[in-house]
A and B are shown apart, each in its own frame.
Chain A
Amino acid sequence: MKIVNQGIEKIDAMALVTGKPVYTDDLAPENCLVVKVLRSPHAFAGIRDIDMAEALKIEGVECILTYRDVPGNRFTMAGQSYPEPSPYDRLILDQMVRYVGDPVAVVAGITEKAVEKALKLIQVSYDILDPVLDPDKALDHKSIIHPEADYHAREDIGNDAKRNLCASGEFLSGDAETEFSRCDVVVDRIYHTKANNQAMMETHRTFSYLDLAGRLVLCTSTQVPFHVRRIAATALNIPQSSVRVIKPRIGGGFGAKQTLVSELFPALVTLKTGKPAKMVFDRAESFTASTSRHEMKIRVRIGADRDGHILAIHMDTLSNTGAYGEHGPTTVGLSGHKTMSLYNMARAFKFTYTVVYTNTLSAGAYRGYGATQGTFALESAVNELADRLSMDPLDLRLKNILKPGDSVAAYYGETIHSCALPACIKKGREMIGWNQKFPFVNISNTKVRAVGAAIAMQGSG
């Protein structure tokens, strides 16, 4: 085997390890305007007035842009293909701010100091609204986060913005309730996963300029350059042929850069001024004003007969998409389909989901894309089921998992052509010394050391 099982050095390896200037900020022209954003201190508010007279007096400030200066085309920043499942619920700058950190004004200037000084001098008066902070209370809350008339979804995602509902749906295979009534044991639990940050080492950053043909060039740290081109064209109301996107080497993404984050602010400045512009998020901004993993509350019902045959699984996911719907309608699907599919021997599956808006940081894409949350929930429930059945959790899984050739009911009836999961479980059992360590060994009078198991699948290629 000349290629398989051989290590291959990446073509850019030596450039990276010798510190060559290959990342976005290394390539930015020295004369870029520095771009920063004034962010909302309120979770939910309408902007009554923005007074920037004092800020504009600062020497070196080039421009201050507000909701009055942006095109009125709503769009989504999620990097997704046609027809774009995430609702069109954003403007570059909006008169309504929907989370602490939502942009209020864009300031561009010659030096960072001038821009920072100007940011402090902008006076904004807000009409503060009652925020929706708890996803459990979001649906039909008296505060409507997206009341705007031009809000729209591009396809049927079970959306109703007037109810703070970003997306909803149901998947049924077999008759779950009848199967549950036949079960000897049913586990019914709710698992709550939080909004995490992707925390790539290189924060969000973009620089922009007009090329020799007057075309807007965006050089940006992104995972989705083609989507950036289309979305920037929509958001800025210019043809796609007027936008060129360059993606240099990026310093990590982990899904954070599967959504536009820093792109549109310098782009707007360059279009308004004709000058090169650059925005580099600081670390705090990357945590508070980008996108996170979707917080989810997942109720799992799973039932089996006394021999450990799983008969039915019902997962009900409540996903918090935050202030905007980036990747909201799509991540939630993986919480059910990528998890229940592993237990293909079950007779019935039910997956119901609700994705709600709240006045918190918008969620987005993050490694696993919803499967992570669902795996934690279902695998925890399977372990609890094993405990109730007094069965070894690995044996319970081996009895119920899918096998090659199966038509996978919870995965849209697709056929699984290869699956080495039983061999993986067997190997893992041996390697960790499961039979000696499960459920725990006593380490001292006050401590035990325990082992636990979970299985997962994810798409690739």
Chain B
Amino acid sequence: MQITCRINKREFIRDIEPDLLLIDFVRSLGFKSVKRGCDTSNCGLCTVWVDEKPVLSCSVLAARVNHKAVTTLEGLEEEAKEVGWFLATQGAEQCGFCSPGLIMNILAMKAEFKNPTTEDIKQYLAGNLCRCSGYESQLRAIKNYFDLQGVAHENC
């Protein structure tokens, strides 16, 4: 079947198999920031945006993005560098494999929340697993990024 979509503001028209997953579609087009971690919709590594909303690309058929706009981390390079700097200064990008999916969701959270509390952050990112960090360094980095020192430090 043929689909037309925009990925990172560039138009793609492709013939695809009906059962092709979005993660395999975008990776085959060279957007390798999108990672597969769990096969079971649990880890958040494959997070991309479809029409600005975060989705798990391992659990969405490529056919569903027909006439939609997909964003991967490659399309958000400047924003990724900004968030990434906060992660890096806390050592929260240890192996780095979960960083792209996490940053996609941090940026999505930023669009939804002006001043997220610690609980907001924990709830929003509950679907982004990391095996290296234990999450403390990520939480510090995210709070620094939101410049929330002193505003939301309960339960940290």
Query: Cβ of B35 and Cβ of A251 under 8 Å apart?
Result: yes
Which residues on the B side are within 8 Å of A20 (C-beta)? 32-33
- Also in contact, A252 and B72, with CB within 8 A (given A201-B97, A202-B37): no
Query: Cβ of A7 and Cβ of B91 under 8 Å apart?
Result: yes
How many Å lie between the Cα of A254 and that of B133 in the bound state? 12
Query: Cβ of B132 and Cβ of A252 under 8 Å apart?
Result: yes
Contact of B84 among A13, A252, A254, A283 (CB under 8 A): A13
**In the complex, residue of chain A having the shortest beta-carbon distance to the beta carbon of B129:** A201
CB distance from B92 to the nearest CB of A (A): 9
Query: Cβ of A18 and Cβ of B73 under 8 Å apart?
Result: yes
Query: Cβ of B131 and Cβ of A201 under 8 Å apart?
Result: yes
**In the complex, residue of chain B having the shortest beta-carbon distance to the beta carbon of A19:** B33
Quick check: which of B59-67, B75-83, B110-118 contacts chain A, the rest being far away? Answer: B75-83
Query: Cβ of A251 and Cβ of B73 under 8 Å apart?
Result: no
Query: Cβ of A18 and Cβ of B96 under 8 Å apart?
Result: no
Q: How many residues of B contact A (CB 8 A)?
A: 35
B69 within 8 A of A: no
Most buried by B among A18, A20, A203: A18
Which residues on the B side are within 8 Å of A282 (C-beta)? 39
B130 within 8 A of A: yes
B38 within 8 A of A: yes
Which residues on the A side are within 8 Å of B45 (C-beta)? 201
Contact of A10 among B35, B40, B88, B132 (CB under 8 A): B88
Q: How many residues of A contact B (CB 8 A)?
A: 30
A284 within 8 A of B: yes
Query: Cβ of B39 and Cβ of A283 under 8 Å apart?
Result: yes
Which residues on the B side are within 8 Å of A17 (C-beta)? 80-81, 83-85, 87-88, 93, 96, 99-100, 103
Which residues on the A side are within 8 Å of B38 (C-beta)? 283
- Also in contact, A250 and B99, with CB within 8 A (given A19-B72, A26-B32): no
How many Å lie between the Cα of A19 and that of B35 in the bound state? 9
How many Å lie between the Cα of A21 and that of B96 in the bound state? 11
A16 within 8 A of B: yes
Which residues on the B side are within 8 Å of A251 (C-beta)? 35, 95-98
Which residues on the B side are within 8 Å of A21 (C-beta)? 32-33
How many Å lie between the Cα of A14 and that of B73 in the bound state? 13
Most buried by B among A12, A22, A199, A202: A202
A249 within 8 A of B: yes
Chain B 32-63 interface mask (CB, 8 Å, partner A; 1/0): 11110111100101000000000000000000
A residues near B, CB below 8 A?
7, 9-10, 12-23, 25-26, 199-203, 249-252, 254, 282-284
